[in-house]
Structure 1
Amino acid sequence: MRSSPPSGPTRGSAPTDSWNPNGGVQFLTVPEELAGQRIDNFLQARLKGVPRSRVYRILRKGEVRVNKGRVKAEYKLRAGDRVRVPPIRVAEQAPAPMAGESLRKLLEASILYDENGLLVIDKPAGLAVHGGSGVRLGLIEVLRQMYPQSRFMELVHRLDRDTSGAIMVARKRAVLRHIQDELRAGRVGKSYLALAVGKWPRGRKLVEAPLRKNTLKSGERMVSVDPSGKASETRFRVMERFRGATLVAAEPVTGRTHQIRVHAQFVGCPLAGDVKYTGDVVNREFRGVGLKRLFLHSQRVRCTLPDGGKVDVRAPLSAELESVLSALRER
């Protein structure tokens, strides 16, 4: 069953000590409800106005200490941990904007599941999952505004900004920890629908190609197949063939940035509407059948809850993407 999000000011989890941007070295104590959160995410949530790159830099240099010891960005906090935060100059920044009524209503209508401490949202394309890198307001910030009574609200996993569909958000720390453990063990199912350009190679059901993430001078993230990259694996299945395109189902075994998009490009069939990995000429052709965005949709998520209950949620294709498929069938 769904619970209606009330209106009201944003409220979220906070450490027992507050960070003062005008102070010197400060110490924060991690409360029970934040146990298990990564140190980089913990810092980013509190160092408002500090670029993410700066957060990673102070971690690498050892300026941040946990219980007097150096930690890496992926360190998971424990209740009672004492976090040393160095003095950081913060640029003046306007308060985060409040989500408009239309966006709130859109997300409320996009709730697919809201039970047992887990929220599944059919995320619209074009909405980032969190603020940062020029994005002032993302999905998680809007949800915290919509559910001010929730002391805890965190993303279980992420979707690219231009990808639509089912995304899981934990409303309880225990649920977040459990499902992320399941993700690492490969016991969470995530299925996507994607429109690949051209004729998908017959018999190509598995792509295993290591991926390396690069950051351009502009700050844009790009991913490429590289022997020195991280092992990555995606399963593909042809759903329907069209003239000049193939609808495929994709299940990422690993969870690398832009994985499905780059693996599709690797086999010679980049995704339609992808401004990063597909050429402009090809994308213009697909705009002719009404495609104005990346055709990549998180169609289904499957997981178990801490009590053993099973969750299996589907997000239908939008009318926009369905109309693109109809146009391809007719040409």
Structure 2
Amino acid sequence: MKTNPPAVRIVTISADEAGQRIDNFLRTQLKGVPKSMIYRILRKGEVRINKGRIKPEYKLEEGDEVRIPPVRVSERDDETVSPKLAKVAALADAILFEDDSILVMNKPSGTAVHGGSGLSFGVIEGLRALRPDARFLELVHRLDRDTSGILLVAKKRSALRSLHEQLREKGMQKDYLALVRGQWPAHLKVVRAPLLKNILQSGERVVRVSSEGKPSETHFKVEERYAHATLVKASPVTGRTHQIRVHTLYAGHPIAFDDRYGEKEFDSQLAGTGLKRLFLHAAALRFTHPQSGEVMRVEAPLDEELKHCLALLRKSSPAK
């Protein structure tokens, strides 16, 4: 089946697109094109701004005219993420809120936020397939692959800048629900322990408490107690990799079914509940809307597996 050859495009940069590097801009314009090819066409001068050559680190300005050369994307890449795929269709049902500036979704457990490291599919790739006409879709923050719950996506660069500023200034509150081993002490309301990230040869990230690490703080509140476990609300003040998972372990109460920081004996005690995934869920997010200035609080319901687990725990050991 023949397709029309791609043609040269001239794109005028809007105020919303200004401020980003040309290489990053091209990655959003040339979806599916390998980064190596993007840098190659930049080096060869095939990409022009205002008819002149530029370097990959050039930052776009409002009104710039960008010449984007014809680049053929392989058909296989086009088929990697298709709106017809069940995973992509499921993402449509997971959207909690959406307007012109932002999209908030309840990310399923087991889905990465973006492709890479051997994964061809991620939330952001799926959303771009769902919204092929969206000129801008970028993650505001991240969730671990096995963590479910609220994920915030910016649909405008100005929204991304505003929300990132809120994260830096700690103006955004995230509340997670975690099922942890044993009886969490009622008086243990804050865990402060510096975290150091290590990258293993396999590429796997492992985080541990270390005096050489970055300052990290998480607030905790007991939600429900069971015979061998506690449901806690965890509100991170800082945003370190695996922070809640490592802080609960440091406190002596690892999270259920955490394959990296958990405890097999605790997991076996939950065998009758049908739980097979990490019990960590981003349940609520409070932030200021980047356009309206309204303070928003979005909540994400637990999935059926987590609700079923808690129902059985309540039945076998009613919460006090």
State the TM bucket, normalised to the shorter chain: 0.7 to 0.9
Equivalent in the alignment of 1:325: 310
Distance in 2, Cα, partners of 1:277 & 1:38: 37
Counterpart of 1:98, as a letter, is V
Equivalent in the alignment of 2:170: 186
Contact 1:33-1:152 within 8 A present in 2 as well: no
Equivalent in the alignment of 2:98: 114
Counterpart of 1:323, as a letter, is H
Residue number among 269, 284, 296 corresponding to 1:311 in the alignment: 296
Q: How does 1:234-313 map to 2 (within 5 A)?
A: 234-305=218-289, 306-313=291-298
Contact 2:22-2:56 within 8 A present in 1 as well: no
Contact 1:270-1:278 within 8 A present in 2 as well: yes
TM value normalised by structure 2:
0.78
Distance in 2, Cα, partners of 1:205 & 1:134: 39
Distance in 2, Cα, partners of 1:138 & 1:93: 19
Equivalent in the alignment of 2:81: 98
CA displacement, residues 293-316 of structure 1 (integer Å, 9 cap, x when unaligned) = 000011111111233122211101
Larger CA Rg, structure 1 vs 2: 2
Contact 1:118-1:175 within 8 A present in 2 as well: yes
Equivalent in the alignment of 1:85: none
Distance in 2, Cα, partners of 1:130 & 1:93: 20
Equivalent in the alignment of 1:174: 158
Is 2:187 the counterpart of 1:219?
A: no
Contact 1:192-1:299 within 8 A present in 2 as well: yes
CA displacement, residues 170-214 of structure 1 (integer Å, 9 cap, x when unaligned) = 111111110110111111111111101111123011011111111
Equivalent in the alignment of 1:79: 61
Distance in 1, Cα, partners of 2:224 & 2:112: 29
Contact 2:175-2:283 within 8 A present in 1 as well: yes
Counterpart of 1:321, as a letter, is L
Distance in 2, Cα, partners of 1:40 & 1:324: 46
- How far 1:107 sits from its partner (Å)? 1.3
| RMSD over aligned Cα atoms | 3.1
Contact 2:186-2:221 within 8 A present in 1 as well: no
Distance in 2, Cα, partners of 1:43 & 1:259: 33
- How far 1:35 sits from its partner (Å)? 3.7
Residue number among 214, 217, 222 corresponding to 1:233 in the alignment: 217
Contact 1:104-1:146 within 8 A present in 2 as well: yes
Distance in 1, Cα, partners of 2:35 & 2:201: 19
CA displacement, residues 88-140 of structure 1 (integer Å, 9 cap, x when unaligned) = xxxx9952602443223311111110124110001100010001111111000
- How far 1:69 sits from its partner (Å)? 9.8
- Which segments of 5 or more consecutive residues in structure 1 lack a partner in the other structure? 1-14, 18-28, 56-66, 83-91
Counterpart of 1:79, as a letter, is E
TM value normalised by structure 1:
0.75
Residue number among 183, 190, 196 corresponding to 1:206 in the alignment: 190
Equivalent in the alignment of 2:143: 159
- Which segments of 5 or more consecutive residues in structure 2 lack a partner in the other structure? 1-8, 40-52, 65-73
Equivalent in the alignment of 2:68: none
